[in-house]
Amino acid sequence: MPLKTILVPLAGSDDVCDSTALESALNIAKKLNAHVDALHVKLDPRSAAAFVGEGMTSAMIESVINMAEQDGEKRRKSAQELFATTCETMSMVIEDGLSSAKLEQPSGRLVEREGSREDVLLSYGKMFDLIVVCKKANKENTGNDLIINTALLETGRPVIVVDSVLDTEFGRKIAVIWNGSVESSRAITHALPILQRADKVTLISAIDDLDEEINPQEAIRYLELHGITASSIEIHGSSGRTTAESLMQQAVKCEADFLVMGAYTRGRLRRLLFGAVTGEILDNSHLPVLMAH
């Protein structure tokens, strides 16, 4: 299935993170001839009143709401300006009353909603082929972990997480982390349009004492039937490293510039014994990664 619709949330409070995610999403759209919705969610200023302490006067509550309104408007204008400037700089067509179905080239549009960022992303993000999120965050924008986890765990959509701008040449050498899970298979299926454009694909499996047969050859065959030639590498033993460290080290050896993996695939026992691979890779890997849950 082609990737035709891409969603990128814009906070409006962190230009570096927003611009990284937006430029990445637009470059993916150019590579795959897709359409991008940049979603900005303005917090309902009345919800700010829920955080005031007891004993606050009505005037003080009104002041808090007014401050929240001003901050929300500032963020909204920031998101608007960033979207317009970035699309102009990257020569991206902006949808303006046109039917998306009639557009034959990559395009973007800015979508504005009001409410909770996580709630809106959950409801709005379900009808996209891909969500792009930046994991960087400054002190004012600490909600990216929530956004990433909402996108991964609640929307049912694949998510590309980046911490630097993804250019149109990404995905030349791809490492696929395979553990035989449903999540791993979904990640591969969602990534097919990207994998089919790669020069080199390597399937990496970490075998631990609790693993049942993970059948990497079945994944290799699936890829071959989709026109993708892939090699397979198995890691046995940790040599004092965590599973995530071993996987990342192998990806570096393969000169990968992009990762594909299932997210939160292990049960509680495996997480206790071998660590949470998804979280560690999100925290420590500088490679862009497509994840699916």
Confidence of residue 275 (pLDDT cuts 50, 70, 90): very low
Q: Who has greater pLDDT, 271 or 191?
A: 191
pLDDT at position 193 is 97
Say how far residue 220 (Cα) sits from the centre of its chain: 25
End-to-end CA distance of the chain: 18
How many beta carbons lie within 10 A of that of residue 209, not counting itself?
A: 7
Report, in angstroms and rounded to the nearest whole number, the Rg of the chain calculated over CA atoms.
21
| Local structure of 245: helix, strand or coil | helix
pLDDT at position 171 is 97
Calpha distance 15→147 (Å, rounded): 16
Bridge-based pairing of strands 289-292 and 159-162 is antiparallel
* CATH number given to 173-292: 3.40.50.620
Note whether 22 and 10 are within 8 A (CB): yes
pLDDT at position 96 is 72
pLDDT tens sequence across 7-20: 999 999 867 899 99
Domain range list for the chain = 5-162, 173-292
Q: Which pTM value belongs to this model?
A: 0.89
Calpha distance 143→149 (Å, rounded): 10
pLDDT tens sequence across 28-66: 999 999 999 999 999 876 665 555 555 567 776 677 778
Burial class of residue 152 in the structure, from the number of CB atoms within 10 Å of its CB (0-12 exposed, 13-18 middle, 19+ buried): buried
Q: Which amino acid is at 50?
A: A
Calpha distance 246→236 (Å, rounded): 10
| Local structure of 46: helix, strand or coil | helix
pLDDT tens sequence across 99-138: 555 667 899 999 999 999 999 999 999 999 999 999 865 5
Nearest residue to 176 (alpha-carbon basis) of 189, 166, 163, 161: 189
pLDDT tens sequence across 217-251: 999 999 999 999 999 999 987 677 888 999 999 99
CATH of 5-162, one of 3.40.50.2300, 3.40.50.300, 3.40.50.1820, 3.40.50.620: 3.40.50.620
Nearest residue to 210 (alpha-carbon basis) of 280, 261, 272, 260: 272
pLDDT tens sequence across 74-84: 999 999 999 99
Domains 5-162 and 173-292 share a fold: yes
Calpha distance 93→88 (Å, rounded): 8
